Amino acid sequence: MNTRGLRSQLKDSVPVTGLCPQAGPYGVQDSLRRGFSSVKNELLPSHPLELSEKNFQLNQDKMNFNTLRNIQGLHAPLKLQMEYRAARQIQRLPFLPSSNLALDTLRGTDDTIGFEDILNDPVLSEVMGDPHIMTEYKLGVL
Amino acid sequence: MLNISTKTPTGGFSFENTRRNAVLEANLSEKGYSAPNARKTGTTIAGLIFKDGVILGADTRATDDMVVADKNCMKIHYISLSETFFTLPGVAADADVTTQMMSSNVELHSLSTGRPPLVAMVTRQLKQMLFRYQGHIGSSLIVGGVDVNGPQLYSIYPHGSYDKLPFLTMGSGAASAISVFEDRYKPNMELEEAKQLVRDAITAGIFCDLGSGSNVDLCVITDKTVDYLRGYDQPVQKGMRGGTYRYKPGTTAVLTKTVTPLPLDVVDESVQVMDTE
């Protein structure tokens, strides 16, 4: 549901960790792929759509929950968020791609096709996260 | 190769190469070269509502800057059995992907609701998607079709705005085509008269605009049928040559002649049968 209004709720802010950390896979600055490092590169977006695409799903959810709260009262978004939280926990191991079927059904994206299904499908990704590191991060012992 | 990051990968657009591309383009332009452009389809497209439905018409030329890239390309795409839409000026690749995605979405939506799709639904999904990408997807379109609310015609621009009108034109030849429509359009026209009018409008675009040319394609959509008339009219035929322009043998005098025979031996002979099925 694409609702208008509530522009003040949108946030395009960049988190402190920055957009595109210059470190490559081994922690060293990766000149070949990312170019020379500069502070500007890490903080400013390289493409006008980069920020809005990164936060798109979050912003959509925020707008929708706000509208729902205004129409139906506080309980409606609370209930929905509880269901989202439950559905988000149904995952495979951290380094394997999960289907997120329950989450998609709740969001309503199980019967739409967008660019996130066609381009860069994580199932077809050529690189995989390191199993040990990702599990340790998930368990909080990293 | 292992990727030592703790983020789970997501799909969609990846902006990793934008910085590299910006640096490359800056370096190239210093030396005087320019990066290759995406192929556009400067065009004339028109649609109008007649008594029983909608007629959409298009020219068939795709241009690549100043060169004709495709003399007979298809600009009218099917969305579903009851509707069609055109893709227009704008980047050809964007137009293709947009139409394919929309076609899938319409099918999924109508399966999910259990009802035949509405033209307004296609328009809404398109404009929401185009607005999300703020015009970076450079495709403008006309959506036309007949559904339970009758025949409808919408035009959508790359930034996401749309218009609902009884007759529409878009593309580089839009001004020429709309002048024909403004002059002769009447509500509730008959089929033949409406087809002739659309044909005339597209022909005006073909003759008066450099980005449009070749043939006229028409698509007639009524509530019962969709008729795709490809190559309905060919106002621009390739010219016939007036005389023969070949030189007679003996026109050029031969001054000297040297013959050097090259002795060749057949070393190996192999026969590959062509599959001529």
Distance CA B33, CA B35 (A): 7
pLDDT, one tens digit per residue, over B170-179 is: 888 889 999 9
Which residues in B lie closer than 8 A to residue A34 (C-beta atoms)? Answer: 16, 19-20
Q: Name the band, by pLDDT with cuts 50, 70 and 90, for residue B258.
A: very high
A49 touches chain B (CB under 8 A): yes
Looking at the partner chain, which of B4, B22, B109 has a beta carbon nearest the beta carbon of A25?
A: B4
A114 touches chain B (CB under 8 A): yes
What is residue B259's predicted lDDT score, i.e. its pLDDT? Answer: 94
Q: Do B13 and A94 touch (CB under 8 A)?
A: no
Which residues in B lie closer than 8 A to residue A94 (C-beta atoms)? Answer: 8
| Beta carbons within 10 angstroms of residue B257's beta carbon | 5
Of B6, B8, B43, B252, catalytic? B43
Residue A97's Cβ-count burial label (10 Å; 0-12, 13-18, 19+) is middle
| Beta carbons within 10 angstroms of residue B177's beta carbon | 30
Q: Name the band, by pLDDT with cuts 50, 70 and 90, for residue B181.
A: very high
pLDDT, one tens digit per residue, over A60-116 is: 889 999 999 999 999 999 999 999 999 988 888 888 888 889 998 988 888 888 888
The nearest CA of chain A is from the CA of B101 a distance in Å of: 7
pLDDT, one tens digit per residue, over B120-175 is: 988 898 899 889 988 888 788 888 888 888 899 999 888 899 999 999 998 888 89
Cβ A43 vs Cβ A92: under 8 Å: no
Residue of A nearest to B129 (CA): A114
| Unique residue bearing structure tokens 């077809």 | A124
Given the cut 0.85, state whether the ipTM is greater than it: no
Strands B62-64 and B67-70 turn out to be: antiparallel
| Among B224, B185, B196, residue whose Cα is nearest residue B82 | B224
| Interacting residues of B12 by C-beta distance below 8 A, sequence separation 6+ | A53, A114, A115, A116, A119, A120
Q: Is 0.80 surpassed by the pTM of this model?
A: no
Distance CA A14, CA A17 (A): 8
Q: Do A118 and B101 touch (CB under 8 A)?
A: yes
Locate A117 and state its tokens. 């299904």
